[in-house]
Amino acid sequence: MTRRTTGAASPRLLSHFVFVVVFVMILFVLTRCLGHAAVQQPPQNDLTVHEWGTFTSIADPNGSAMDWLPLSGSTDLPSFVEHFRDVAFKGGLRGTVRMETPVLYFYSPQETTVSVEVSFPKGLITEWYPHSDSANSGLASKDYALVMMKRPGGISWPSVHILPHAASDFPTGSSQNHYYAARQTSSAPIEVTTPAGTQREKFLFYRGVAAFSPPITATASADNTVSLQNDSSDPIPNLILFERRGAQLGYRVLGPLRDQASLAPPVLDGSLESLYSTLESILISEGLYPDEAHAMLETWKSSWFEEGSRLIYIVPRAFVDSVLPLHIYPAPTNTTRVFLGRLELVTPLTQRAVESAFLHGDRATLAKYGRFLEAIVAFMIQQTDDEKRQDQLFRYLSAF
């Protein structure tokens, strides 16, 4: 009886033993696989990063971005913002694109630290805050000619402390400035340790100028109709044609642009309030939080809708990543980048208005075109082979 019991138990013990061995082997294989996968993927944290910015350019007679002085005039920034080398060099720095006020917002439920690096292969970083030791660190003075740059510009912050519960004790200048509007979001304060002490802000801020071609070309015909060509491999997600003449303004919303389109000039019966609402909704649809979209609009609404004609469009994300690579480590769970393109159009109506203002010494009208005035006259010079007319246009500009 004892032998029968012992004999009957052996198969059960054997089966349990086999099961355990197989289970341990499977567990070992899974552990190795998961460990291998972890090595292949960069570490992530519970962090979300949102960024917005603007690429500003001017269309030449062929519709491409023309060479101009994107950094002429006032920098219009608080005194604590840092500048690349000597600010004076910028008066002669020519480029095709002004990269205006990208800001990086960080959202995290707990304190964390990341490194941030922005590369600008065809450009220079010209302003930033907080402090960075690495702005355009690989460039020599001869690289100021953007088309001759041998090394990319860029900037990095090796240790950005994200402090979701920190006080909002950010620096302020002596006067009001549109820079501060970007702080009106729910993002976490950030802190950077510098040789001069700790600096806090609501975001990482930087600006620059570059010599690349935007993803769109545009030409205006004699009747002010605008012909558009998407030069990107991706659709332009949304586009607005805007025009302002004195107190009157109008705009047309095209929607996505996949290939080509032609737009008649807008009827000048619109309102800024309606345009603000439309543009804010577009920014939100592209992934910005409502308070971020509002902050972006508040930052730039005093200059986006000046006298003249322009395209305001959403830059394809893939294009942004190609001309302005961003690397954050550890990698955020989500990174959203929303950039607006601003392409100034020198329409026949704009040319007539500028030439009339020069003829009559109307400095008030000329001042409305601000930093774009030199480029508008250069556009007009390129359009004519008449040497007398070219000389006259040069005299207009030198007398202004």
Residue 298 is predicted with a pLDDT of 96
- For residues 225 and 367, membership in a common domain is answered with no
Amino acid at 180: Y
Q: Please tell me the total count of domains within the chain.
A: 2
Average pLDDT, the chain: 86
Interval 347-375: pLDDT, tens: 999 999 999 999 999 999 999 998 899 99
- For residues 281 and 384, membership in a common domain is answered with no
- Is residue 281 included in any domain, yes or no? yes
Tokens of 269: 């019966």
Query: What strands lie across the sheet with 260-263, from one edge to the other?
Result: 216-220, 226-230, 260-263
The pLDDT of residue 24 is above 60: no
- Is residue 175 included in any domain, yes or no? yes
Residue 93 is predicted with a pLDDT of 76
- For residues 160 and 303, membership in a common domain is answered with yes
Q: Mean pLDDT across the stretch 186-195?
A: 95
CA distance 276 to 301: 8
- For residues 332 and 193, membership in a common domain is answered with yes
The pLDDT of residue 315 is above 60: yes
- For residues 290 and 189, membership in a common domain is answered with yes
Answer with the one of 325, 345, 365 that is the final residue of a domain.
Answer: 345
Cβ–Cβ < 8 Å for 82, 400? no
- For residues 175 and 126, membership in a common domain is answered with yes
The pLDDT of residue 18 is above 90: no
Q: Mean pLDDT across the stretch 292-320?
A: 96
Closest CA to 313 of 374, 256, 386: 256
Cβ–Cβ < 8 Å for 336, 187? no
- For residues 158 and 146, membership in a common domain is answered with yes
- For residues 174 and 199, membership in a common domain is answered with yes
- For residues 303 and 364, membership in a common domain is answered with no
- For residues 313 and 359, membership in a common domain is answered with no
**Sequence-distant (≥ 6) Cβ neighbours of residue 278 within 8 angstroms:** 240, 251, 253
Answer with the one of 345, 362, 384 that is the final residue of a domain.
Answer: 345
Three-state secondary structure along 284-310? HHCCCCHHHHHHHHHHHHHHHCCCEEE
Interval 103-149: pLDDT, tens: 999 999 999 999 999 999 888 899 999 999 888 876 655 545 676 66
- DSSP-derived secondary structure letter, 195: T
Closest CA to 313 of 219, 237, 383, 210: 237
**Sequence-distant (≥ 6) Cβ neighbours of residue 394 within 8 angstroms:** 377, 381
- Is residue 8 included in any domain, yes or no? no
Cβ–Cβ < 8 Å for 130, 161? no
- Is residue 266 included in any domain, yes or no? yes
130-to-45, 48, 191 alpha-carbon distances in Å: 23, 20, 8
Query: What strands lie across the sheet with 82-83, from one edge to the other?
Result: 82-83, 123-129, 204-210, 97-107, 44-58, 331-345, 308-314, 239-245, 248-253
- Is residue 128 included in any domain, yes or no? yes
Interval 134-144: pLDDT, tens: 888 766 555 45
Pick left, alpha or beta for residue 189 (phi over 0 → left; psi -120 to 50 → alpha; otherwise beta).
Answer: beta
Residue 148 is predicted with a pLDDT of 64
What is the pTM (predicted TM-score) of this model?
0.85
- Is residue 50 included in any domain, yes or no? yes
* Residues spanned by the domain of 374: 349-399
Interval 262-285: pLDDT, tens: 999 999 999 999 999 999 999 999
- Is residue 19 included in any domain, yes or no? no
Answer with the one of 303, 319, 345 that is the final residue of a domain.
Answer: 345
- For residues 223 and 142, membership in a common domain is answered with yes
- Is residue 6 included in any domain, yes or no? no
- For residues 219 and 366, membership in a common domain is answered with no
Q: Mean pLDDT across the stretch 194-211?
A: 94
